[in-house]
Amino acid sequence: MSNFSDGDQPRRRGWKIGALVAAGVLVIGGGAVGALTAPSWANFGDEPAAAPSSSASSSEEPEAAESEAPEAEEFTFGITPTDGAVEVNPATLPEIRAEQATIEDVSLAPADGGEPVAGTFSEDGSSWKADGPLVFGTEYAFEFMLVDTAGGEHRQQQTFTTVQPENEANAWMYPAPGSTVGTGQTIEITFSEPVINKDAVEKAITITSTSGQQGAFYWLNDTEVRYRAQEYWEPHSTITVDVQLFGVDLGNGMIGNFNDTWSFKTHNDRLAVVDNATKQMQVFIDGKLERTFPVTLGTEEWPSFFGLYTVMEQYERTKFTAESIGLKPGDPAYYEPTEVNYASRISNGGAFVHEALPAAQSILGVANVSHGCVGMSPEGAKYFYDMFGPGDMLEIRNTDTGPVQVWDGFGDWNLPWSEWTSQQA
């Protein structure tokens, strides 16, 4: 019994999810082969099928033996993936379907050995489908037997290979799953490969919150997408990110390689408001003013951008270098590498809330001398370091430059909701 497929061999590039190969046999009388008929899902080539072998031995005359032999009804069957197919999406669930025949003894397993793939038969035995996904970069051996209506057995064998590992695409989320963050923390998902089919990826990611807040995606570029609600997350809520990317075509032949569910929580509401007009920081906890501290901000040459910032990361002690903000030795604003205490990053561009250097302590609340940072007293910087963390919000008011951009850290809240939601995937 021979199996045949579409006339052309599968191609390395441009594979299609769920491509069918079908092989069919029409059995007439004692085994003569006639014209094939196929259901709408079967896909036949022009090549004729070979007749199944048959033999009979009887003391009766040949004519009598032939007249008593049971006649098998014509049958057809279809298989996916195709025989010899390559770059098969591992999310494709292999399947066999037959008409006027039953399916038995199905075996689907890695060709070089390994755990077989479990599957389920239909009640009438006319179909079989794998229960779970396949593995990337694996050749599979697919074997089964078809039993026609006269009891004739027709065994089939074929192979196919799934997408190679270099075509896998991974993704990860910030904030870290299981973490507790401030109410202003937007969700950032980063992909290992560029995403062309953005709409398909968005549909594969479902984000819910115990507060019932709904949000929207915003793509920074082809590998980074953000998600936030119209307002800050409600305090003490849980946000769940259900990622079903396995088998999703990201474009350019790249396929998502996992499904997972991530979640994180928010703590109470924390906001620090820095006003350049007064050079003071006011700290609000759950909407109540708790502390006020004098500060220094950026100079006219190195201004602090106004707008909403999200705390990104923190260092109890770290080193600032002029080179990190584009200065070189000999530049008027150049400074030697400097150790600072209680530094909380608020932008990718190098803005921090930190303890001001000793020389700047005397002018806190009076003048601006920083390179765009918020300088504080030792007490104030430590208080901010201890009380605030990733996802907590800081707002700078009444400077002449800004606002801080979406890509400069998490300046997401400076983008109006109408603009955030108007981006086309």
For residue 113, the domain's CATH number is 2.60.40.3780
**Do residues 293 and 388 share a domain?**
yes
Q: Residue 45's domain spans which residues?
A: 21-163
φ, ψ of residue 268 to 5 degrees: the values are: -75, 175
**Do residues 310 and 367 share a domain?**
yes
pLDDT score recorded for residue 67: 52
Last residue of a domain, one of 163, 181, 196: 163
pLDDT lower than 70: segments of the chain: 1-69, 424-425
Per-residue pLDDT tens over the stretch 57-75:
333 444 544 556 678 888 8
pLDDT score recorded for residue 19: 31
pLDDT score recorded for residue 102: 96
Last residue of a domain, one of 163, 187, 205: 163
**Do residues 312 and 380 share a domain?**
yes
Last residue of a domain, one of 136, 163, 190: 163
332: in domain: yes
3: in domain: no
> Domain holding 403: CATH number?
2.40.440.10
423: in domain: no
pLDDT score recorded for residue 423: 86
Domain count, the chain: 3
Per-residue pLDDT tens over the stretch 1-37:
333 333 333 333 233 233 333 333 333 223 222 222 2
What predicted TM-score, i.e. pTM, was given to this entire model?
A: 0.74
pLDDT score recorded for residue 221: 96
> Domain holding 241: CATH number?
2.60.40.3710
284: in domain: yes
**Do residues 289 and 393 share a domain?**
yes
**Do residues 370 and 352 share a domain?**
yes
Q: How many residues does the chain have?
A: 425
**Do residues 290 and 318 share a domain?**
yes
Active site positions, annotated: 354, 373
Contacts of 330 (CB under 8 A, 6+ apart): none
